Structure 1
Amino acid sequence: MIRVASGTEMTAQLLGELITKHKRIVTERYSILKNAYENKYKIMDQPDKPAYKPDNRIAVNFAKYIVDTMNGYFIGNPIKETHEDATVGEYLEYLDQYNDQDDNNAELSKICSIYGCGYEMYFVDDTGQIGITYVSPMESFIVYDDSILERPLFFIRYYKDADNIEHGSWSDSIIVQHFVNRGSYKWEDEPKRHGFDGVPAVEYMENAERLGIFESVLPIIDAYNKAISEKANDVDYFADAYLKVLGAELDEQALKDLRASRVINLEGDVGDVIIEFLAKPNGDETQEHLIDRLERLIFQISMVANISDENFGNSSGIALKYKLQSMSNLSKTKERKFISGMNQRYRLIFSNPLSDAPKDAWVGIHYKFTPNIPANLLEESQIAGNLAGITSEETQLMVLSIVDNVQKEIERKRMEMEGDTDDFSRGQGGDIIGNQPGVLEKETAATMEPA
């Protein structure tokens, strides 16, 4: 986290100092995490061995597996957003659809898992609509004040164009301004009001420490890559074993005949001639134990389940939940951080005059996270049925993973019920049935569920 004193004003000199500090963090930490996710590990940069020795460089991309598995579990099912005010709910749906927010959320979650944090910035696009996009911490950062509340002061994003010239923008709670770096940082334009009530960006965190999900096991992954590479080297050693001949001298022609015919026929006493392969000491069992232990530690310490394990698929019910318990704990922590970020997202967006929702409407938004695990629809429907008369209809429907939008489902159900009642109350040709007293009331009571 980069912090400055409260009340600090942005200058070109300060901008240069802040970006230099951030670039140091990128080099020392973020680049290492990015390389790991992209399968670029230390094993690839080790000194070359002599030409006569096998030199395998095997990198097993546990980092990507851990991130993608956790990301799929956490946000493979899109986040459900509801609001007690139907008008606000409709605007939320429009805003998310306009910005393809389900994909944005998934990418933001992945960025947080890799780097420990990620950013989301807000702007007004060319059509006058509010835009939302995610930004990597490799190219952006928020500057906070030095108070205990850590208030955001500036959001800075920078990049290099096709000519390798650095450009970017910075914003505070009122304005946004662009800059360029041609030896020194200078403003490219006059500052413009962005229209949001605060710095138009939010930091999302994987956890309070801002640690990437595989960051703690990166040394173990490096050890695993080294161990399995040496294992491959040993296989090559045995494949290229030397033939040892003692008690007889073979000329060049004899060696060629031996390679061609693969038959050995030498003169001499049986006890005087020894022919065998040179055998290297075999550490196969020790190597296998080390590789297995390192793999177990990677998943244990990262707290992400190895769902590719052959025994994992045989679990069901409560056993499966126990195996996913550690990953569920991680998910709950991340969920709370994500909700905090989304509250800030909609607080900023609703503060913009172009928003179609009241400024304080973000308080009434409810978020539903559904872990992406095999759904037992029968069990879910039974639970939802048992909640009848105990909870509201909205809470009942939230139990069902097949319901994407609870408010829309309630509305569809209401329209179906009204249609059924209308059809029942009319005979052929549209005449109202009047000679069946009590039938309509009974039918309505049978089709209505307790609220």
Structure 2
Amino acid sequence: MAKVNEFETATYTYSSAKQRFPDEANAHYRYPSAELLLDNLDDLSKMIQHHIQHQRPRLKTLENYYKGNNETILQANRRKEEHLADHRATHNFAKYVSQFIQGYMVGVPLKTSHKDEEINEKLRDINRINDADEHNSELVLNQSIYGRAYELLYRNKNDETRFTTLDVKETFVIYDDTVEMSPIAGVRYFNNKFNDDTLNVYLYTDSKIYHFITKDQHSYKLTLEKGEEHFFKGVPIIEYMNNKFRQGDFEDVLNLIDLYDAAQSDTANYMTDLNDAYLVIQGNVDLDVETAEKMKEARLILLQTEPGVEGKASQADAKYIYKQYDVSGTEAYKDRLAEDIHKFTATPNMNDEKFSGIQSGEAMKYKLFALEQARATKERMFKKALRDRYRLINNVMTMASEGNFDVNDIQIVFTPNLPKSLKEEIEMFIKLGGKLSDETTLSVLSLVENPKEELEKIEAENKLNQPTYDFEQFQNQDEEVTDNDE
């Protein structure tokens, strides 16, 4: 009998000093077949329990860092003395990394096209209905944050093919135990906290959707509520992996982010503690505590010395004692941390002087060479999952007699979102003897929203400004001339 421990995992003692997340926090779930899993629902329960206990904490941590709730600096007990400042400065490098990569990859929407124009129009309709540009952008962002993203395909009440993103923290895909790792089922679960503590579980196989509930979350025992067919002829939950290891784009620099947070927080604490430094008054002065406190409030100290030896006035001095701050060393340390974060995430530091000024897209590509390598991997993984999407769409379209197409004929094109020197492009185009239509020329101008409408306005104005001629008057004049000749 199959057992739940057949999914890839490892048993070991987790030490936060060596490894932030255990290996099983990102393990794939494996099982021989969906039929065998349905016969052993206890194994499905164990998978759900394992996902909640071991995989969700990692996903939640990555989400927290993306939102700026950096866990280490916010949770650690950093200052032992209660009277000292304890600032917790968080720096959202995670959001910068993920949003930069998201914009770089799909800031210019990816293009899908088919050589058959009729099929091409149907794909455009499906993409328009589902707002595919925004949907794909959200998938890329989830990939960057969590190292994975999930998409659900379904038919709505209007019998339209729809797709939507799923919460990564409540979704996983189960693969078979072959070397091909084909998906056999997808799982989506959630709590309805405003109703009761019932855990709703949806299991998607290649032909059916099963709805289970469990009211005892300690045993996770599943009870089947209902099952219904779908016609995608494949598991309608698709996993988009960021890379082979399903690692997020900022996941391996979390410790560097923590170090930067700590350094900036310590600097802030120093600046605050400096205001609470000890005042030391040296010399034989005629000064009581009450007078000294009043002077401190007035930010003015007047020292009057008492007579010293042989009637001479004694020396007096006042100064603060505080911890010395190595400004240059500390700032260099923080700059190095920030530079390492950018280097290991392959994202540019826009404060770097190398990125100042106007640069062409080709020049930027050389500076983004490391990110280009990562982008190539991310694109291949994304295209693979994207073809699965359109393969399932083709299956359901065939069943609904809405047409069919060969998924391999779909062209998927990513365009890096880089700054472009339009002037250089136009000058090169003109030198090569190229010409542009009026509509294309107008589309270049940012102040023109609709080139076609603008051309219609130009045509209307030309007609309005054309001189008018009274042809009937000329005809009458010709007739008069003819009569006079006679």
Structural mapping, 1:271-286, within 5 Å: 271-286=314-329
Q: Does 1:127 align with 2:155?
A: no
Taking a change above 3 Å as real, the CA distance of residues 328 and 386 of structure 1, as seen in their structure-2 partners, is farther
CA apart distance, 1:292? 0.5
State which structure, 1 or 2, has the greater radius of gyration over its C-alpha atoms.
2
Is 253-262 or 209-218 further displaced after alignment? 253-262
* 1:360 CA displacement: 4.1
Aligned mates of 1:309, 1:181 — CA distance in 2: 54
* Change in 2 beyond 3 A, CA 1:336/1:384: farther
Q: Once the 2 structures are TM-superposed, how far is the Cα of residue 38 of structure 1 from its aligned partner? A: 1.3
* CA distance in 1: counterparts of 2:329 and 2:210, whole angstroms: 61
Deviation digits for residues 39-77 of structure 1, max 9, x if unmatched? 122100011632211111001010011001110111111
What is the DSSP-based 3-state SS (H/G/I as helix, E as strand, rest coil) of the residue aligned with 2:396?
coil
Residue 484 of structure 2 corresponds to which residue in structure 1?
none
Q: Pick one of 399, 402, 406 that aligns with 1:361.
A: 406
Match of 1:242?
278
Partner of 2:55 in structure 1? Answer: 26
Distance of 2:353 and 2:87 partners within structure 1? 28
Q: In the superposition, relative to structure 1, how do residues 348 and 386 fare at CA in structure 2: closer, same or farther (>3 Å)?
A: farther
One-letter amino acid matched to 2:83: Y
In 2, the alpha carbon distance for the partners of 1:260 and 1:174 equals 79
The CA RMSD over aligned residues, in Å, is: 3.0
Partners of 2:122 and 2:355 in 1: how far apart?
42
Deviation at 1:259, TM superposition (A): 2.1
Q: Report the counterpart of residue 179 of structure 1 in structure 2.
A: 212
Q: Which residue of 2 aligns with 1:321?
A: 365
Partner SS state of residue 9, structure 1: helix
| Candidates 47, 57, 69, aligned match of 2:77 | 47
8 Å contact kept, 1:350–1:356: no
> Aligned letter for 1:343?
R
Aligned-pair identity in percent equals 30
Alignment correspondent of 1:9 = 37
User: Residues 278 and 58 of structure 1: is their aligned pair in 2 closer, same or farther, counting only changes over 3 Å?
Assistant: same
Query: Is the Cα contact below 8 Å between 1:88 and 1:357 reproduced in 2?
Result: no
Question: CA separation in 1, counterparts of 2:116 and 2:91?
Answer: 50
CA deviation after TM superposition for structure 1 residue 355, in Å? 5.6
Distance 1:336 1:383 in 2: 32
Displacement over 6 Å in runs of 4+: 382-389
Q: Relative to structure 2, which stretch is displaced further, 179-188 or 223-232?
A: 179-188
The alignment partner of 1:352 has SS state of helix
Counterpart for residue 230 of structure 2: 194
What residue in structure 2 maps to residue 266 of structure 1?
A: 304
Q: Does 1:345 align with 2:383?
A: no
Task: Give the C-alpha shift of residue 248 in structure 1.
Answer: 3.7
Q: Residue 170 of structure 2 aligns with which residue?
A: 139
- Cα contact 2:213–2:225 (8 A) shared by 1: no
- Matched to 1:131, the amino acid is R
Instruction: Give the TM-score, by structure 1 length.
Output: 0.81
Q: Which moved more, 1:239-248 or 1:125-134?
A: 239-248
Matched with 1:444 is none
CA contact (8 A) 2:171 2:188 kept: yes
Shift of 1:357: 5.7
User: 2:294 matched to which residue of 1?
Assistant: 257
Corresponding residue to 2:417 among 372, 375, 395: 372
* Greater RCO structure (CA 8 Å; 6+ sep): 1
- CA–CA distance in structure 2, aligned partners of residues 171 and 313 of structure 1: 51
2:126 corresponds to 1:98: no
Question: Could you list the runs of 5+ residues in structure 2 that have no partner in the other structure?
Answer: 1-27, 435-442, 445-450, 457-486
| 1:331 lines up with 2:375 in the alignment | yes
Bigger shift: residues 294-303 or 17-26:
17-26
Query: Which 10-residue stretch deviates more, 364-373 or 147-156?
Result: 364-373
Which residue number corresponds to residue 197 of structure 2? 164
Counterpart residue identity of residue 209, structure 1: F
Classify the secondary structure of the residue corresponding to 2:68.
Answer: coil
- Aligned to 1:281, what secondary structure does the other structure show? coil
Give distance in 1, aligned partners of 2:387 and 2:367.
31
CA distance in 1, matches of 2:113, 2:164: 21
Q: How many residues align?
A: 400
Instruction: After TM superposition, give the deviation of residue 28 of structure 1 in Å.
Output: 4.1
How far residue 305 of structure 1 moved from its aligned partner, in angstroms, is: 1.4
Give the TM-score normalised by structure 2: 0.76
Q: Which amino acid aligns with 1:263?
A: I
